[in-house]
Copies of this chain bind each other. A is one copy, B any other.
Amino acid sequence: MPDLTPEPVPKAVPDASRRSERSRRAIFDAALALVSESGYARTTIEGIAARAGVGKQTIYRWWPSKAAVLLDAFLDLQVRAHEAMDGDGDGGSEIPDTGDLAADLKRVLRATVDEMNDPVFEAPTRALAAEGIVDPDLGARFTETLLEPQLQYYVRRIEAAREAGDVDPGTDPRLAVELLVGPLHHRWIHRTLPLTHAYADALVDHVLRGLAPRS
Contact = CB atoms under 8 A, between A and B. Distances in A.
Interface of A: 39-41, 126-127, 129-136, 139-140, 142-143, 147-148, 151, 172, 174-176, 178-179, 181-187, 189-193, 199, 202-203, 206-211
17 contacts: A41-B135, A126-B133, A127-B134, A133-B189, A143-B190, A143-B191, A148-B192, A174-B193, A175-B199, A175-B202, A179-B179, A182-B182, A182-B184, A182-B185, A185-B186, A208-B210, A209-B210
B136 A206 contact: no
Given A126-B133, A172-B202, A147 B183 contact: no
Nearest to A134: B130
Given A126-B134, A178-B182, 11 more contacts: A40-B134, A130-B133, A139-B190, A139-B191, A176-B206, A178-B183, A178-B187, A179-B206, A181-B182, A208-B210, A210-B211
A182 B175 contact: no
A193 B174 CA distance: 10
Contacts of A189: 129, 132-133, 185, 189
A133 B208 CA distance: 29
Contacts of A175: 183, 199, 202-203, 206
Nearest to A147: B190
Nearest to A210: B210
A99 B39 CA distance: 49
Nearest to A178: B183
Nearest to A214: B209
